[in-house]
Amino acid sequence: MHVNIGLADTSNGCLLAAVLLYALGMLAYACDFAFAKQRLIPASASAGEPALVGAGVGFGSAAVALGSRPDAGVGNARPAAGPPSAQGPWPSGFWLRTAFSLTCVGLLAHVIAILTRGLAEHRVPWGNMYEFISAICCMAVIVLVAAALRFHAYYIGLFVLIPVVFALALDVTVVYTSAGPLVPALQSYWIAIHVTAMIVSSGLYIVGAVVTVMYLVSDRSRRRTAAGLPSRTSGIVLHLPSPLVLDRLSYRSILFAFPVWTFGVMAGAIWANSAWGRYWGWDPKETWSFITWVVYACFLHARATAGWRGRRAAYFHLAGFVCLMFNLVGVNLFITGLHSYAGLG
Amino acid sequence: MRTALVLLFLLAVASVPGSVLPQEGIDPAAVTQYYAAHPALAPILAKFSLFSVFAAPWFAAIYLLLFLSLAGCVLPRTFRLVGSARQLPPRAPRNLSRLPLATSYQTALAPDAAVESARQLLSGKRFRLLAGDGWVAAEKGYLREVGNLLFHIALLALLGSVGLGGIFGYKANRLLVVGQQFANTPTALDVFRPGRLVSPADLQPFSIALQNFSAKYVTSGKLLGQPSSFDASLRYDAGPGEPMRSYSLQVNHPLRVDSVRIYLIGHGYAPTFRITDGSGHVFNETVPFIPVEQTGLTSQGVIKIPDASPDQLGFAGVFLPTAVDQNGRLTSVFPQTLNPVVSLIAYTGNLGMNGGQPQSVYQLDTTHLRRLPIAPMPLSPGKSMKLPDGAGTLTFTGYRQWISLAITYDPGQLPALISGFLALAGLILSFMVRRRRVFVRACAAPDGTTVVDVGGLARSDAAGGFETEFAALAEQIRQAQDGSARTVEVPPEPDSRRGSDPRTQTIGSALAAGNPAVNGSSSPADGHDSAADGHHSAVGSHHSPAAGHHGPPGSRDPENHVPSAGNHDPSLADVEGE
């Protein structure tokens, strides 16, 4: 099978365009933080008494928006009594709209880049580290867009795009691998199942980790402010919803990511059973996916244990993410094993 | 649960050395190399089983303790779940407005009829119901605990399945040169790792012959030399007297014989030599060389001629499939044999094979060998090198290919797969289902209408989402009642009955995002213990932990009162925790 050079070049160009658009989107999100006067969660605008509630309640209502579409459900109980929640899912404010539009256009370019790469290679376009990182970043941006539309969580845009732009920039420069066929060990339909599950859950995990960091920063700053201590991050935190909202958003992402990751590990075991003759062999990649799974399971248990909720559980969450990243970067680069498909070196 | 949490984390930490240090069970050669590189450190690490972490006693101790604590937690909860199979929801609290989610409206239906209408609706939605005078209590979501328990029990079953494979299964490896064949007996296998209760007689009696092997590689571009396909044509039979069959063995396509699976896991070259010793005896040898790198498949190997005379002969060297001179150094640049070359160092003396000590066929013990004074020279097929001191001649006659096979029999495979999927199903169930209660109270108002209060409580709703369901449910109840009454609703004054509590109103509005009628109860100080019934007193304080966690207690910051915080319900401690 021949690699279609034209499509491969299109893919590279589109990915470059996506990185640029994301970077611009990131700047626009930053501008939004810097210049937007009243950067409140839009759901507050549809709350009953905007004059009475002020910022805090705005965020409080966002907690509800997080759990329910602002334009559905709750509002129906007494449509006559309150103002119609016709806010819709779209962001308000020039900078935020610009940022979100750039993100969406970037995502489109990114998806085209991945599709053309796959068409050029006549295979699933996640067979080496370059393609895998690109796909994970794409998934993270999809989660970002979905969270924004579904939960009005536009405030995470900047903080998700920073690592995405950074990772993609490294991806196209350092990690780049030219298009080509798969090694025989990867020539199986399981790559479409196992690796896709890993990509989907990794994208969710990334957003979850970013939101957890936001939670920790916001929680710390608010507690310091409440205790009368100075807080260097209070300027940013003012633009963020309450720690409770952030906590629930990150937890939500894990509620999706963890079963998908579990499924991915299981699919990997089934694949390993048909490729290497055993479903589990403590290969470094397997070991680290197990460690990642266990640490995220720790996080889930910590959340259900009295005295471990909140910050402590958040540290488990971040520990799980560190394991995930080590599995992606560390195991690929520093440890040899059966999963040495990075295509580097 | 705290114990389980610590053990779980310990398990993760304990796995780390297993991925960082070479492991006996995965790559014994790497362990040998590690010993050579760190002669002082390696024995100490070995003492702590750090080269076989996953078979180490301390690792087993951690997971066995974990599963013990799991069993100790899961079993009583299973009994409790079975016992609660017919448990009814608690009585409706007196004041529903103090529940995390509450709404109130008026209807023309009489109180009893209004309650009956709500009861029918909730019953149709498969809620468990308890009705009383002027109220109905409904609960749903017991599947959450079912999922939770299923997940943990399936993990225990998974461990059991792994153990099953370890006891009744076996693993073996065999290197097979094109033209060779072997039968599945312990002596014919290069590596044989039987389970604890496996005897040689248990081995399935198949035999396999390798007829041909072809490997294809990328021939241009940046990925030059990357393999694109491997194909081994086998002839096999399931036992003596069974019909011979053919199979094209490829990576990802194992051969199944008699519930055993045979995998293609490696390949390489076996150069062939004709060696004439000093006394004129001729030896024809086919020697598998082991690849040391993948881009050019440079392979190393040794030739041992123990029967040579007057002295034993030994050779160590490399095989280069596509040899190219790069700055005076021969390097293989492509894995296929475009320009095959061997280069050997010759030894004579005692190979050390007579001492009875088992010896690797891939290593030469040079302690009693003398290197012959001849510089290694690259030999092409057909070329010879004459050994000095009348020790004889070696001719590189050609090469064949070999494959390595992994043979596994694991009766725990299917149980493990089933347990895995059950665990996943349980996990999804416990994440998707939330346990929630809905209460409806109806009482006659002075103006002749009926005031209906609907209250809701999620007992496990960490990620939120119950607000939506509750609002929809409350709306359906109201519509059902209105439908029964066939009357037009008279919109009441917003919060007329609770106008005295401005805080409730504010939060209610914020909560409802435009609907003041759905209201959240407010601060932890509210202490709606009274709202909860006696035998579920834990429910009463359910949002204080969330508030306590995310802000100072009693803080006026309304975010702390967002009622869906109901998720951090300590009553979970008796549902989920322990």
Q: Residue B98: which residues within 8 A CB-CB, separation 6 or more?
A: B455, B521, B526, B528, B530, B531
**Which residue do the tokens 């050609």 mark?**
B398
What does the alpha-carbon distance between residue B398 and residue B386 come to, in Å, rounded to a whole number?
Answer: 17
Measured in whole angstroms, the distance separating CA A183 from the mean position of its chain's CA atoms is 29
Q: How far is B264 from chain A (nearest CA, A)?
A: 8
Q: Residue A12: which residues within 8 A CB-CB, separation 6 or more?
A: A113, A172
Q: How far is B443 from chain A (nearest CA, A)?
A: 20
Question: Which residue type occupies A27?
Answer: L
Q: What local confidence, expressed as pLDDT, does residue A151 receive?
A: 86
Q: Do B261 and A277 touch (CB under 8 A)?
A: yes
pLDDT band at B233 (very low <50, low <70, confident <90, very high): very high
Q: What local confidence, expressed as pLDDT, does residue B393 receive?
A: 92
Q: What is the mean pLDDT of residues B308-321?
A: 90
Using a CB–CB cutoff of 8 Å, tell me whether A290 touches chain B: yes
Chain B positions touching A273 (Cβ under 8 A) are: 413
Both tokens of residue B366?
């040079």
Q: Do A180 and B222 touch (CB under 8 A)?
A: yes
Question: DSSP letter string over B201-228?
Answer: GGS---EEEEEEEEEEE--SSTTTT-EE
Distance set, CA B185 to CA B199, B207, B358 (Å): 11, 9, 19
ipTM rounded to 2 decimals: 0.82
Chain B interface, mutation test: which of A276, A287, A296, A300, most B Cβ atoms within 10 Å? A287
B35, B42 contact by CB (below 8 A): yes
Q: How far is B223 from chain A (nearest CA, A)?
A: 7
What does the alpha-carbon distance between residue A73 and residue B471 come to, in Å, rounded to a whole number?
Answer: 6
What does the alpha-carbon distance between residue B18 and residue A280 come to, in Å, rounded to a whole number?
Answer: 14
pLDDT in tens, B420-445: 999 999 999 988 888 889 999 998 88
What does the alpha-carbon distance between residue A166 and residue B174 come to, in Å, rounded to a whole number?
Answer: 47
Both tokens of residue B10?
């310990």
What does the alpha-carbon distance between residue B106 and residue B447 come to, in Å, rounded to a whole number?
Answer: 10
Chain B positions touching A271 (Cβ under 8 A) are: 252
Q: What local confidence, expressed as pLDDT, does residue A87 receive?
A: 55
Rounded (10°) angle between helices A94-121 and A129-151: 140
Closest residue to B8, CB basis, from A79, A183, A301: A301
- Return the minimum-mean-pLDDT range out of A57-71, A99-113, B288-302: A57-71
User: Among residues of chain B, what percentage have pLDDT more than 70?
Assistant: 83
Q: Do A64 and B559 touch (CB under 8 A)?
A: no
| Side-chain half-sphere exposure of B387, counting CA atoms within 13 A | 26
Q: What is the mean pLDDT of residues A175-186?
A: 85
Closest CA in chain B for residue A310: B549
Strands (E), B133-241: 135-140, 170-177, 181-183, 191-194, 207-217, 227-237
Q: What local confidence, expressed as pLDDT, does residue A344 receive?
A: 52
Q: Residue B109: which residues within 8 A CB-CB, separation 6 or more?
A: B117, B442, B450, B481, B482, B484, B485, B487
Chain A interface, mutation test: which of B1, B5, B144, most A Cβ atoms within 10 Å? B5
User: Among residues of chain A, what percentage have pLDDT more than 90?
Assistant: 50
Chain A positions touching B513 (Cβ under 8 A) are: 43, 46-47, 61, 64-65, 68, 70, 74-75, 82, 85
Q: How far is A232 from chain B (nearest CA, A)?
A: 19
Closest residue to A77, CB basis, from B463, B491, B517: B517
Closest CA in chain B for residue A83: B514
Closest residue to B5, CB basis, from A65, A298, A331: A298
Closest residue to B4, CB basis, from A291, A301, A306: A301
A35, A95 contact by CB (below 8 A): yes
Residue A172 burial class via C-beta count within 10 angstroms: exposed 0-12, middle 13-18, buried 19 and up: middle
Average pLDDT of chain A, as a whole number: 82
Domains of chain B (ranges; CATH) run: 2-80 (no CATH), 90-141+434-575 (3.30.310.80), 170-409 (no CATH)
Q: What local confidence, expressed as pLDDT, does residue B531 receive?
A: 35
Which of A40 and B29 is assigned the larger pLDDT?
B29
Determine the number of helices (DSSP H) and then strands (DSSP E) in chain B.
Answer: 12, 25
Q: What local confidence, expressed as pLDDT, does residue A64 receive?
A: 38
Q: What is the mean pLDDT of residues B169-191?
A: 91
- CA dihedral of B101, B106, B107, B113, whole degrees rounded to 10: 60
Chain A positions touching B261 (Cβ under 8 A) are: 277
Q: Do B518 and A74 touch (CB under 8 A)?
A: yes
pLDDT at A86 over 50: no
SS3 label, residue A154 = helix
Q: Check: pTM over 0.80? Answer yes or no.
A: no
- Return the minimum-mean-pLDDT range out of A40-54, A150-164, B184-198: A40-54
Q: What local confidence, expressed as pLDDT, does residue B209 receive?
A: 95
pLDDT in tens, B495-547: 434 333 333 333 333 333 333 333 433 333 333 333 333 333 333 333 333 33
Q: Do A184 and B228 touch (CB under 8 A)?
A: yes
Q: What local confidence, expressed as pLDDT, does residue B565 receive?
A: 34
Q: What local confidence, expressed as pLDDT, does residue A119 receive?
A: 94
- Return the minimum-mean-pLDDT range out of A160-169, B5-14, B171-180: B5-14
